[in-house]
Amino acid sequence: MNAGTLMDLILPLGLVVLAEIILRQRRAAEAVAQFMVFGLLMAVAWVRVDAPDLALTEAAIGSGVTGALLLAALRRIGPHREPTRPLPSPARLPVYTATLLLGGALSWALIELWSDPVSLTAAVDARLAESGSSNPVAAVILNFRAYDTFLEIGVLLLSALAVYTLAGSRGRRSLEEPGPVFQFYLSRLAPLFAIVALYLVWIGSRRPGGAFPAGALLSGVGVLVLLGASPWPLGLHRKVVRYLLVAGFGVFLFAGLWGGRYGAMLTLPPEQAKAWKLLIELACMLSIGFSFTVLFACCAGWLGDESGEGT
Amino acid sequence: MEMPLHYLSNALVLAGIFFLFASALGVLRFPDTLSRLHALAKADNVALGCIVLGLMIRQPNALLALKLVLIWSVTQISSAASGFKLAQQIRARALREQRPGGESAP
């Protein structure tokens, strides 16, 4: 047995065991930490099945940003809560039965698919040239199935807006001195990460990358800057923040309508596809980055109050 | 690749794995958060350093090797900064707990 096979055996097993541990974890802070580890393992698993695009996104969003969001939310509701009590055993039976049935049905569906696989790879490859990108993953996400991505951006926008509107400013932002080490880190590394985010968008048309990992990276920069007690990302004029939140959805929508003049709605004319794709990805990167930053700030109680008393 | 270099690369990666294991053990077993931070920083610093050195030897061209060094140095700086930030929070909390009651924090 070679090392690859061994890893393919250990990884899924580790994922299942870790999931079980997280579900049984009573203390929320520990569950969050373990969830972040789960995200990292999941990213490695995506690498093992040759899906570096998914691995990038999983590592950045699944492990990094989601972890930060969960920790911020935890900070807001307070760590000293009663640990949740497990259900009494008679109540567990229907839950177990339902879970088993659902799991069984899903597994059966997967096995059925396995015996008669429908592959769209050939169809994608055949029209790759028209999509404006040479990376098939990017072509599917931003052109062939742009509809899905459009709605995903819409969901993200909705959630950011909802939280932005509802979250009152609670808890003061600790405006203590970030200290020389962190200050150095912010001033040197934050610009570097921003450049890497742009690079990810640029390279996304040829190789793994694209708006989602780039946006996640950008939101990481946003969170870092927030932790550095700098007023910058929130100090931006609120209108600017709102425009940035809407940018991705708006540009996508406009591109979709624009395509309607040539062919169908939400399709891109092949000769303009590359430019549109880049524009959409840049706008989406900004929106994703700012959405997660705003979500984080709201969860931590640093944003949301219109009077701005909290900061 | 010549044989001795191959062995050197393997030895370095194995040393990296050893340090990784040791630091994981430290994070699990050390008594207080600051000591655990110390163990954690070892993983980013020495363990990743050894692994990167070992892998650098195997790279076919210098650009790939340089990229590995870049990964290591960014991780290094990040680890220092995050360790600093964590320690700052721990200290702030300890001071806060000390002040009102007058009891000494652990």
Mean pLDDT of A2-24: 88
Model confidence pLDDT, tens digit, residues A44-75: 998 888 888 888 888 888 888 888 888 888 87
Model confidence pLDDT, tens digit, residues A240-267: 888 888 888 888 888 888 877 776 766 7
For residues A31 and A66, give the distance between their C-alpha atoms in angstroms, rounded to a whole number: 13
Q: How far apart are CA A104 and CA A106, in angstroms?
A: 5
Is pLDDT of A292 > 50? yes
The reply to whether residue A192 touches residue B74, judged by beta carbons under 8 angstroms, is yes
Residue B98 makes CB contacts below 8 A (sequence gap 6+) with B104, B105
Check pLDDT > 60 for residue A299. Answer: yes
Q: What is the Cα–Cα distance from A103 to A16, expressed in whole angstroms?
A: 13
Question: CB count, 10 Å around CB of A304?
Answer: 19
A237 touches chain B (CB under 8 A): no
Determine the residue among A185, A195, A225 to mutate to test chain B binding: the one whose Cβ has the most chain B Cβ atoms within 10 Å: A185
Q: Predicted confidence band at A236 (pLDDT cuts at 50, 70, 90)?
A: low
Q: What phi, psi does B21 have (nearest 5°)? A: -60, -45
Q: Where are the domains of chain A?
A: 1-81, 87-120, 135-311
ipTM over 0.85: no
Contact A182 B92 (CB under 8 A): no
For residues A24 and B52, which has the higher predicted lDDT (pLDDT)?
B52
Give A73 to chain B, closest Cα distance, Å: 18
Report residue B55 CA to chain centroid gap. Answer: 17
From the list A174, A185, A192, the residue facing B81 with the nearest CB is A185
Among the listed ranges A139-148, A157-166, B64-73, which one has the minimum average pLDDT value? A139-148
Surface-to-core class of residue A230, CB atoms within 10 Å of its CB (0-12 exposed, 13-18 middle, 19+ buried): middle
The reply to whether residue A227 touches residue B85, judged by beta carbons under 8 angstroms, is yes
Diameter over CA atoms, chain A: 64
Angle A148-A56-B67 (CA atoms, 0-180°, nearest 5)?
145
Contact A189/B at CB under 8 A: yes
* pLDDT at residue B106 in the model: 45
- How many other C-beta atoms are found inside a 10 Å radius of the C-beta of residue A228? 19
Grade residue A13 by pLDDT with cuts at 50, 70 and 90.
Answer: very high
Instruction: Classify residue A78 as left (phi > 0), alpha (psi -120 to 50) or beta.
Output: left
Is the pLDDT confidence value at A117 over 80? no
Per-10-residue mean pLDDT, chain B, length 106: 79 92 89 86 86 89 90 89 85 79 47
Q: Is the dihedral of CA A14, A16, A19, A24 positive or negative?
A: negative
Angle between helices B3-29 and B33-42 in degrees, nearest 10 = 170
What value does the mean pLDDT take over residues A226-244? 70
pLDDT in tens, A75-88: 777 666 666 666 77
- For A120-161, the DSSP string reads -HHHHHHTGGGGT-S-HHHHIIIIITHHHHHHHHHHHHHHHH
Token readout for A217 is 């990276």
pLDDT, residue A187, reads: 83
Q: For the residues of A181-196, what is the DSSP string, one character each?
A: HHHHHHHHHHHHHHHH
